[in-house]
Structure 1
């Protein structure tokens, strides 16, 4: 019996794609570099393979570790399909594209372009914070624009963080890992899903928490704060008990402009009602501080 989370071996064929090598592992997926056999181009393939629920059998199928996990594995697979559907419906230069979706080995495979670049989370670990104002605006304004599209489509990301932002040439960002993407209905959606300490606001920790676009806004503010001071912010439950997070406008006033620090503090308000209610509202406050090139590019994209 194969060990849990065993990756597909190099050379394995999945549809029209041949695996080159595994390149990353997440809590719910395995990521591979592969070749499109029809075009010869390199692609990235994301395989649904949850660490705590699944193993690979001798026929390479993804199966539950035990029958008690079967229902959870089936539910997770449905959420993975939801991610693919959400991504395929979103056409934005700063949201990762879906090239194809395959069903094989009793699981799903999402095929994406192989975008050269670096991960913002890894870059932060090297730099220890202190990223420039121009860098932050170059990265997070397009991210907010991408989130604004999602929010207009009644979707929330629910896992915005530096590790889910890929930087291409010229620091052009790409928002990754929409595995937590959650379509909203008329009523406010409930929390209790994906949690990343420091980036997830309080409402995301509880099943009766009211999550929405304002939840993504908190995560953007927390990501900006990390890029500034090099530390993951105090987790929201700890802030609720004893908030030791010094407002950015006080802690970083000698290093960053007031408009940006105010945006961070506004976004990270503990009370969801006191934050920007969606990415567009936060973005609008930043636009007057951007150069004409970006404003023109954003206007043209919306026409």
Structure 2
């Protein structure tokens, strides 16, 4: 929506404040009053889906019922000419999440208590109004510009009641929003059955927030997916003193009581939690040492290559001139994500054979939650990081490890797969790898004897940094989007989630792929971005680190293909083929399924797909190989992966 657009002849759009998977937050002013507002507008494509549109408007109505100085107010609802939005207070500031992790590391005890007390007061008011938030977390708490710890009462605002629950006194009907909650802050009972939660679920989430303010980390920081949700159900949090030795015992006891697994053992409501904090002795105003920030390496500046000769693209497999080593910011290495949902039933049977029936039921609950959990409503992203803080892992990587690397022998592939470090980004819908800003060769390489006339010619393009999904989007994740009404449903999707959730979703057209990426806070790549991600800075014909074979790539199963009898006659799980990863740890960039890009084909209704599939011959596994498809069609060997702009 361009600046100057006028909504309802009243609100004049000035600028984009933030973007999310479901829409955009704009800064706008009232052309008569001159007042400034924030307007959250539902994405126009998603607004066509009635269930999602209704949920969005329900969120606005819920938040409009709550009037409290520490809760961002919804002042108006827009519903005309296909535009659906909510008009909110415009408040400058940053999220508590950013305040903790980007500046403080750990807060002083008095400040942590003060923030928690004000947060509890605001949430108690919501509870008294009959509303349970159900998605409280540091990224949904805003500290206004000029935040002063001694005046926290006027500088804290609670955001996003997108999945709040209202109990209708007339018929006990539960009105719910679009998602279940954020796993890292979900109470045990919310994991088991989100419809049964009461105010004590918010108490638990605030307890986790207090824990994070004091310790600089959540109690289950290193856990994800199944393990994280299981820990929320039955693993006692490590005492805060493990991470903050100077914490007073009384404060630690209050935090741990708020995090009891049984709601009956927790504080019964926000007021009781407040009284416990107020009853503490004067807390020491100790300032923990501020964690040293790791300097983020800036990508080297590349100039445009304008003429042949020294600046011409390297030949296939040829090394580029060696550059001085440049390392990215070091951090703890994290293992690759290898979570295989395809064996869920076997895992459940194994669990139930060795653990109690009640624990088995917990795992069933977790499977259900994971099957329907998604990113949910658009976060109020105006003044802090988007939604829940994306947790970055920065790992050492020299340019020589990814630039100018020739194809390696089989004996070297495993070593490279395990030793190359990439900068990654964890999101709620999979892990991503960074493609650094710079100049990349895309299209066919010189002297490629297999290059076709329809392939893009070799050219140097400058790209901004972006993250790319390490795997193709799975049936499991697409089902979450469809369950929320954000993605068009697919035939037999419910059955597919149960039988093979980890296979790439196929049969989706360009529009469906685009809708998913938008829902996930991402987008589809351009063909140039896809090429850059596939080559990972190398002058290579193929995305893989070795020339493709039936052992490392799922391809060649059509009649007369290279791998008939050796590879399955279908797409396989997105976490497979360890040896087929490229240097950025991207799987299945060659084979398995073709992948949609947003690059238009010869016709306006066509798009380019890349990478080849399980049916393809080897020639179509080359980075430059492309196929033109009608945007509104799907196929059983066409899927996609998403990218996300680097902030």
| TM-score for both structures, normalised by structure 1 | 0.78
Cα pair distance change 1:105/1:135, threshold 3 Å: farther
SS of the residue corresponding to residue 231 of structure 1 reads: coil
Residue number among 244, 259, 264 corresponding to 1:268 in the alignment: 259
Shift of 1:173: 0.7
1:282 aligns with 2:276: no
1:109 aligns with 2:85: yes
Residue number among 228, 234, 238 corresponding to 2:230 in the alignment: 238
Q: Deviations along 1:203-252, whole A, 9 cap, x unmatched?
A: 2234466211011111101111111222233265231577273122x425
The 5 A counterparts of 1:183-222 are 183-185=166-168, 193-207=179-193, 210-222=196-208
1:95 aligns with 2:85: no
Cα pair distance change 1:139/1:126, threshold 3 Å: same
User: 1:190 touches 1:208 (CA, 8 Å); kept in 2?
Assistant: no
Cα pair distance change 1:153/1:210, threshold 3 Å: same
Unpaired runs of at least 5, structure 2: 283-647
Residue number among 224, 237, 240 corresponding to 2:210 in the alignment: 224
User: 2:200 touches 2:267 (CA, 8 Å); kept in 1?
Assistant: yes
Q: For residues 112 and 13 of structure 2, what CA distance do their matches in structure 1 show?
A: 35
Match of 1:48 in 2: 42
User: 2:97 touches 2:138 (CA, 8 Å); kept in 1?
Assistant: yes
Residue number among 239, 242, 246 corresponding to 1:251 in the alignment: 242
Match of 1:300 in 2: none
Q: For residues 13 and 111 of structure 1, what CA distance do their matches in structure 2 show?
A: 13
Match of 1:127 in 2: 103
SS of the residue corresponding to residue 24 of structure 1 reads: strand
Residue number among 88, 111, 125 corresponding to 1:149 in the alignment: 125
Residue number among 19, 34, 37 corresponding to 2:31 in the alignment: 37
SS of the residue corresponding to residue 144 of structure 1 reads: helix
Match of 1:59 in 2: none
SS of the residue corresponding to residue 178 of structure 1 reads: coil
Shift of 1:39: 1.7
Match of 1:83 in 2: 59
Shift of 1:146: 0.9
SS of the residue corresponding to residue 256 of structure 2 reads: helix
User: 1:77 touches 1:107 (CA, 8 Å); kept in 2?
Assistant: no
The 5 A counterparts of 1:58-73 are 62-63=47-48, 73=49
Shift of 1:78: 2.2
Cα pair distance change 1:188/1:215, threshold 3 Å: farther
User: 1:188 touches 1:210 (CA, 8 Å); kept in 2?
Assistant: no
User: 2:4 touches 2:14 (CA, 8 Å); kept in 1?
Assistant: yes
Shift of 1:111: 1.1
Shift of 1:188: 9.8
SS of the residue corresponding to residue 55 of structure 2 reads: helix
Q: For residues 134 and 24 of structure 1, what CA distance do their matches in structure 2 show?
A: 32
Q: For residues 274 and 40 of structure 1, what CA distance do their matches in structure 2 show?
A: 51
Q: For residues 18 and 233 of structure 2, what CA distance do their matches in structure 1 show?
A: 36
1:177 aligns with 2:168: no
Cα pair distance change 1:190/1:179, threshold 3 Å: closer
Q: For residues 278 and 148 of structure 1, what CA distance do their matches in structure 2 show?
A: 8
Shift of 1:190: 9.7
Q: Deviations along 1:26-83, whole A, 9 cap, x unmatched?
A: 343421111211122221111123xxxx627xxxxx42xxxxxxxxx32232222222
SS of the residue corresponding to residue 85 of structure 2 reads: strand
Q: For residues 175 and 194 of structure 2, what CA distance do their matches in structure 1 show?
A: 6
| Alignment RMSD (CA, Å) | 2.7
Shift of 1:132: 1.0
Q: Deviations along 1:130-151, whole A, 9 cap, x unmatched?
A: 1111221222211100111111
Cα pair distance change 1:177/1:197, threshold 3 Å: same
User: 1:188 touches 1:211 (CA, 8 Å); kept in 2?
Assistant: no
Shift of 1:275: 1.2
User: 1:204 touches 1:215 (CA, 8 Å); kept in 2?
Assistant: yes
Shift of 1:115: 1.3
User: 1:97 touches 1:112 (CA, 8 Å); kept in 2?
Assistant: yes
The 5 A counterparts of 1:17-36 are 17-36=11-30
Cα pair distance change 1:154/1:179, threshold 3 Å: same
SS of the residue corresponding to residue 92 of structure 1 reads: coil
SS of the residue corresponding to residue 124 of structure 2 reads: helix
The 5 A counterparts of 1:154-165 are 154-165=130-141
Q: Deviations along 1:80-110, whole A, 9 cap, x unmatched?
A: 2222222222221101122222113434211
Q: For residues 190 and 11 of structure 1, what CA distance do their matches in structure 2 show?
A: 36
Q: For residues 113 and 139 of structure 1, what CA distance do their matches in structure 2 show?
A: 21
Match of 1:301 in 2: none
| TM-score for both structures, normalised by structure 2 | 0.38
Shift of 1:118: 1.8
Shift of 1:261: 1.9
User: 1:252 touches 1:261 (CA, 8 Å); kept in 2?
Assistant: no
SS of the residue corresponding to residue 63 of structure 2 reads: helix
Q: For residues 29 and 266 of structure 1, what CA distance do their matches in structure 2 show?
A: 38
Match of 2:5 in 1: 12
